[in-house]
Amino acid sequence: MSKHLLLTSFQPWLSHQTSNASDDLLAKLNPITWPHGCLTLLRRLPVETEAASQAVIMAIDTLQPDGVICCGMAETRSHLTVESNARQGTLTRKTSVDLQSLIHDLPCTEISHDAGQFVCEGLYFNVLAHLTTVRWPCEAIFVHVPWFTSANERQLMADFETLLARFPAQSPDDPF
């Protein structure tokens, strides 16, 4: 089954950062040779909730992808973490994706219930809210990415590529 995924990343935001792990992750992908359909990369979003949200929502409306994977950096985490929800004030929006099935047997990937209360959570909340208004099936997740090291890079990339192949949902045609 061919699918179209929109993937996003952020630019660096602190002075000591020469890159953003989320953007480093997308830079390592090769959308041209991805065997499961089409990947569209929206890289280096501004680290500002409204501007990032507007750019992603415009891309969603234009491209009408099957799924959206927003990525952000989590400097202090050691694994890829897929966020179960996003909060804004007293409101909580949850992804409709079965995260347990999505990350099953991925050794460097965990589920998180805390998207960070920063631009990552704001973007995720706005994307999940927007997807309730679209007229085609589209699911979204947010993945926090730790710094890449020589010790973790290969496994993080293997987990992410498997996650991409499984997302947005398993179908009988998918090999996973």
| pLDDT tens-place string over residues 105-161 | 999 999 999 999 899 999 999 999 999 999 999 999 999 999 999 999 999 999 999
Mean pLDDT of 29-45: 93
| 38-97 pLDDT, tens digit each | 999 999 999 999 999 999 999 999 999 999 999 999 989 999 999 999 999 999 999 999
Evaluate if residue 18 carries a pLDDT over 90: no
Q: Decide: 109 and 162 in contact? Cβ < 8 Å.
A: no
Residue 14's pLDDT is what?
80
Residue 15's pLDDT is what?
78
Residue 108's pLDDT is what?
98
Pick the CATH number of 3-166 from 2.130.10.30, 3.90.180.10, 3.40.630.20, 3.90.209.20: 3.40.630.20
Output the CA torsion sign for 42, 78, 95, 4.
positive
Residue 1's pLDDT is what?
66
Structure tokens at 104: 């099953």
Evaluate if residue 174 carries a pLDDT over 50: no
Structure confidence at residue 173 as a pLDDT band (50, 70, 90): very low
Residue 106's pLDDT is what?
98
Structural domain spans, the chain: 3-166
Residues whose CB falls within 8 Å of the CB of residue 138, separated by 6 or more in sequence, listed in order: 60, 64, 65, 66, 67, 68, 131, 168
Residue 32's pLDDT is what?
87
